[in-house]
């Protein structure tokens, strides 16, 4: 009897803890790619940031497209990739309509956050100090992208 009581108490406590988390998770964005790692989920859904100079995409120089790791839509062409020296994959422009933006005041500064227009997951921040005529620098977490070479 006491055992059952403790067991059901445990289950209801768990659901109290997990319900808001799950609710927040599913309110606007959904996990489409079931193979995402915990680290990817933290960046994509909780606006986390990967450690700089850790992305294998920093050295990627082939022609192709960078897709959303969650929903697989094309976000960047390899033509817009450049080495910003920041430690994150960087691009001078996104494909038309690929992202939506919002103003982000975390870290005590005003930054423009951008997220996938299709599935809503976080990708990075865009700055106005890019090297090309667009003036933009898309600073993207490598873990949010999947590169697909053209051939
Ligand atoms: Zn997406």
Confidence of residue 13 (pLDDT cuts 50, 70, 90): low
CATH topology for 46-149 is: 2.170.150
Catalytic option among 68, 71, 116, 139: 139
Averaged confidence pLDDT in the chain: 89
CA distances from 45 to 10, 77, 147 (A): 27, 24, 20
Q: 122: left (phi > 0), else alpha (psi -120 to 50), else beta?
A: beta
**Is it the case that residue 119 has pLDDT exceeding 60?**
yes
For residues 140-147, average pLDDT? 98
Give 13 Cα–ligand 1 centroid separation in angstroms.
33
The 10s digit of each residue's pLDDT in 42-101 is 999 999 999 999 999 999 999 999 999 999 999 999 999 999 999 999 999 999 999 999
Active site residue 116: no
Tell me which DSSP letter residue 131 carries.
S
Give 46 Cα–ligand 1 centroid separation in angstroms.
14
Task: Return the pLDDT at 147.
Answer: 98
Give 128 Cα–ligand 1 centroid separation in angstroms.
23
Q: What is the CA radius of gyration of the chain?
A: 19
Q: 13: left (phi > 0), else alpha (psi -120 to 50), else beta?
A: alpha
Domain residue extents for the chain:
1-30, 46-149
Give 35 Cα–ligand 1 centroid separation in angstroms.
14
């Amino acid at each position: 009897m006491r055992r059952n009581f403790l067991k059901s108490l445990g289950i209801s406590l768990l659901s109290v803890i997990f319900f808001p988390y799950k609710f927040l998770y599913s309110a606007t964005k959904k996990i489409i790619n079931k193979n995402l790692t915990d680290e990817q989920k933290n960046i994509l859904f909780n606006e986390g940031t990967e450690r700089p100079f850790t992305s294998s995409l920093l050295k990627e120089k082939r022609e192709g497209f960078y897709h959303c790791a969650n929903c697989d839509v094309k976000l960047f062409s390899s033509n817009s990739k450049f080495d910003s020296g920041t430690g994150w994959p960087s691009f001078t422009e996104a494909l038309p309509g690929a992202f939506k933006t919002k103003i982000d005041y975390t870290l005590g500064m005003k930054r423009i956050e951008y997220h996938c227009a299709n599935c809503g997951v976080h990708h990075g921040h865009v700055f106005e100090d890019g090297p090309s005529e667009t003036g933009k620098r898309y600073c993207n977490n490598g873990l949010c992208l999947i590169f697909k070479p053209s051939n």
